[in-house]
Amino acid sequence: MTREGYIEHYFDFSNSGRFFLVAFGGLFLTLAIILITSIIKDRAEEGLPHAHLFIESFYEMVFSSTSILFFLSLYYMADSRIQSIMPYWEKYHDVFLLAFIIASVFMTNWLDRFLVKLSSLDDSRKASIRLVSSFYIILILLYIRFIYENTNYNTLIIYFITLALGRFVYFDFTWSEFGSMVEGVIRHLPLLAIIIVYSGIVCWYGFKVQFLLKSTGVIVCTLIAHLFMDLAIFVVHHTRVLKLVTGKCVVRKIPDVSRYICKLILSRCLPK
């Protein structure tokens, strides 16, 4: 299929609309499970409703994974589809990969500040979640490597495993830092299970109805699924339904003009 054919296929509303509904429905069920679980536990963490904190952590997990997948897809396309840069690519592809990974960090920071503002997560929690998202990416690459028997991802697998191990053991690490890092990863492992199930169902549906085309590249198809998941999160967040449920919706004050009008109407209607 030509480039124009791929664009026409993925931007066809009859295809993308149904796929978005599946991503939205999957997100709705995922958040419902989180809310029900939090109600059953009936506890709070760090002074915030547990459900709200868990949901924002899940959003951060999705955004971090999307950012990494975006630049891995660029790496894949540059490595296999863009022939004009091959002389430079063969010589500097490791440098490009490092630059892409660094750029993914800035993209994640942009997503969790401007697409959906995640105000309840501190830096240490975000660091633990992003480390868990690295494990998620490793699992995706391992799946592609062994299920599709694609050896093009061997270098990426080793690279990400090295990055993940480097977060635990580095030149001047201490056992207390190592323990806190392990504790943070263990605390957020449920997010890993949730995102595997959620993205797995969305990708399975996409491949089943042939909206996601394997000829595009499995890593690119996974990115496309994540972009629809991000869109679903954006819609759910900005409708403020979850904020009402979790008690985080801010009650806006009535403007002074509105209060004056209300007082004027009441003074005329009520008997003196």
Contact 58, 30 (CB under 8 A): yes
pLDDT per position as a tens digit, 39-92: 776 554 444 457 788 889 999 999 999 998 998 888 888 777 666 666 776 777
Query: What per-residue confidence (pLDDT) applies to 81?
Result: 66
The Cα 85–Cα 110 span in angstroms is 28
Residue 260 clears pLDDT 70, i.e. is over it: no
Query: What per-residue confidence (pLDDT) applies to 226?
Result: 96
Residue 130 clears pLDDT 70, i.e. is over it: yes
Query: What per-residue confidence (pLDDT) applies to 65?
Result: 93
Please state, rounded to an integer, the average pLDDT across all residues of the chain: 79
Q: Which long-range contacts (CB under 8 A, 24 or more apart) does 176-182 make?
A: 181/128, 181/131
Highest mean pLDDT among 82-96, 104-118, 160-174, 239-253: 104-118
Query: What per-residue confidence (pLDDT) applies to 147?
Result: 83
Single-letter amino acid code for the residue at 57: S
